[in-house]
Structure 1
């Protein structure tokens, strides 16, 4: 609930900076840089409904998947800074600048508004693997630098 309030406040502040008409006067676009059907998309749709109800307008979920989220993030970064285009992103947003030599937007082009959810991640190995912990995996990686530790089908 706090995340939704922060998102609303940020949209209102951005819109108020250019205050010509009452915000919102048209639908808001919530860009999701992932394919429909996943957890980010599902959570974004819940946020869109709640924000739309609070603001009395439609919040349209616009899925723009590809390139580990950079296509959607680039679209949002290039949108007018008027509060009508908001990006719903996840961990890749913070990782991508370290993975890609060139990004389709400047690192400072977007500003975080709210933490919406925390999602656990897990690492799984075969039951007969000698790796029984993350420490085991880290130790193996240190013992064999440069070797692909996560290759499938070994």
Structure 2
């Protein structure tokens, strides 16, 4: 394998967002690889095809997918087009999960902004603004209390 067309583990880490340790771990558990080795040094060399796969896994992991979900993705990828029906549901489900997380984060963000508005109004001696900020913060606090999981 020519070293120009392949990547070192450092280069692969930079491109994928995974640490070198994570890349070694993923190889160890069979998620990626086997990774070719440079015959003279024994260092890992990632082929262009493997690099593309690792980069895709990096993107999926960045969305919060678990290692098992990554395994399922690779299984579907290996099966090709015939896996499309089976692959649609997990990705749609993950997208719904992300939408729920975004909604929860948006609620937290709105509450933090309302508290900032409250203190800004107090700093400015703005009684009307303070009253409105209290109302909004209380409404959001009520919604937040309902969203807390044990």
TM above 0.5, one fold? no
Relative to its length, the structure with more strand (as a share) is 1
Query: Which is higher, the Rg of structure 1 or of structure 2?
Result: 2
TM-score, normalised via structure 1 length: 0.23
TM-score, normalised via structure 2 length: 0.24
Relative to its length, the structure with more helix (as a share) is 2
Greater RCO, CA 8 A, separation 6+: 1
